[in-house]
């Protein structure tokens, strides 16, 4: 009887979610999504409204910043992401 109770308790506990959130304003309204807007690119300047990308309280990208600074925000992430799962920049894998 204890095993089913432990399983039920485990299933009811909230688990922390980790996802990138994209935030931008367009036509007077704010948008918040886990899917980036069509104009957003990690490796290139944005050609649309400013996009701020966060994960929890950490800012991962902000298209209002210069490119060097934007890439610097994401750089520490490459130490925690396995090499074969890192995002491609300019069509090549990041070492």
Confidence of residue 3 (pLDDT cuts 50, 70, 90): confident
Which pLDDT value is given to residue 14?
Answer: 64
Query: Could you tell me the pTM of the whole model?
Result: 0.56
* Local structure of 53: helix, strand or coil: strand
> Is position 52 within any domain?
yes
Residue 27 CA: distances (Å) to CA of 24, 31, 48, 49, 81? 10, 10, 11, 10, 36
Per-residue pLDDT at 70 exceeds 80: yes
> Is position 88 within any domain?
yes
> Is position 64 within any domain?
yes
> Is position 36 within any domain?
yes
> Is position 57 within any domain?
yes
Confidence of residue 41 (pLDDT cuts 50, 70, 90): confident
Contact at 8 Å (CB) between 23 and 64?
A: no
H or E stretch at 12: helix 2-12
> Is position 1 within any domain?
no
Domain that holds residue 44: 18-93
> Is position 7 within any domain?
no
Domains in the chain, number: 1
> Is position 89 within any domain?
yes
Confidence of residue 1 (pLDDT cuts 50, 70, 90): low
């Amino acid at each position: 009887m204890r095993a089913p109770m432990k399983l039920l308790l485990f299933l009811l506990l909230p688990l922390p979610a980790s996802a990138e959130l994209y935030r931008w304003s367009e036509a007077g309204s704010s948008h918040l999504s886990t899917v980036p807007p069509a104009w957003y690119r990690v490796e290139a300047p944005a050609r649309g409204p400013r996009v701020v990308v966060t994960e929890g309280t950490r800012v991962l990208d902000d298209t209002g910043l210069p490119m060097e600074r934007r890439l610097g925000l994401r750089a520490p992430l490459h130490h925690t992401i396995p090499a074969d799962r890192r995002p491609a920049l300019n069509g090549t894998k990041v070492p």
